[in-house]
């Protein structure tokens, strides 16, 4: 029998799935990726009947019940940042999450918010 030389199943496959297996092989989101610190939140809509979310997508959606950012989500879900950005893009396309602030808020921070940060830093 010409069985494959290596056959990894169960525990033999190791604890880690190659990261891009989680995204169906995609290495970038279809749309512009969310900023690392964009504030995202679940819309509260239920996924459609025919929508099958992966375990990782469900985990991220769960975490998005409270506003969070891609960087925080990647850290909490222990998934690579780029993978998280792709999965979050999927959730956005399904209408399950949205940005909490308008797009233009992602430009360079204004002097008022920087003054506030400066005060906080000096108090550290």
Partner 1 sequence: MNFAASDLPVTPGTPATPAELDEDPKHTLKILVAGGFGVGKTTLVGSVSEIRPLRTEETLTDKSAGVDDLAGLERKSTTTVAMDFGRLTFGGGVRLYLFGTPGQERFWFMWDQIAYGAVGAIVLADTRRLTASFASIDFFERREIPFIVAVNRADGSRHYTIAQIRDALDVDPHVPVMLCDVRDRGSAKNVLVALVEHAIRFAPAPGP
| Contact set with partner 1 (CB under 8 A) | 19-20, 27, 33, 35-39, 42, 44, 46-47, 53-55, 58-59, 61-62, 65-69, 71-72, 74-75, 78, 80-83, 106-118, 120-122, 124
Q: How far is the CB of 90 from partner 1 (least distance, A)?
A: 14
Phi, psi of 76 (to 5 degrees): -70, -40
Q: How far apart are CA 70 and CA 34, in angstroms?
A: 7
Which residue, 1 or 121, is less far from partner 1 as judged by CB? 121
Triad 66, 99, 70: Cα angle to 5°: 65
DSSP string, 83-107: HHHHHHHHHHHTTSEEESS-GGGGS
Cβ-contact 88, 36 below 8 angstroms? no
Which residue, 67 or 93, is less far from partner 1 as judged by CB? 67
Q: How far is the CB of 2 from partner 1 (least distance, A)?
A: 26
Which residue, 15 or 111, is less far from partner 1 as judged by CB? 111
Which residue, 1 or 94, is less far from partner 1 as judged by CB? 94
Look at the alpha carbons of 54, 40, 94, 21 in this order and tell me if their dihedral is positive or negative.
Answer: negative
């Amino acid at each position: 029998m010409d069985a494959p030389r290596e056959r990894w199943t169960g525990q033999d496959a190791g604890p880690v799935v190659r990261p891009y297996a989680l995204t169906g092989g995609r290495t970038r989101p279809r749309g512009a990726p969310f900023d690392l610190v964009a504030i995202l939140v679940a819309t509260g809509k239920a996924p459609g009947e025919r929508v099958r979310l992966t375990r990782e997508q469900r985990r991220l959606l769960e975490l998005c019940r409270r506003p969070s950012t891609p960087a925080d989500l990647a850290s909490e879900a222990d998934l690579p940042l780029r993978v998280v950005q792709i999965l979050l893009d999927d959730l956005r396309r399904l209408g399950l999450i949205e940005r909490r602030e308008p797009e233009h808020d992602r430009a360079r921070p204004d002097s008022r918010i920087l003054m506030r940060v400066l005060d906080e830093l000096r108090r550290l």
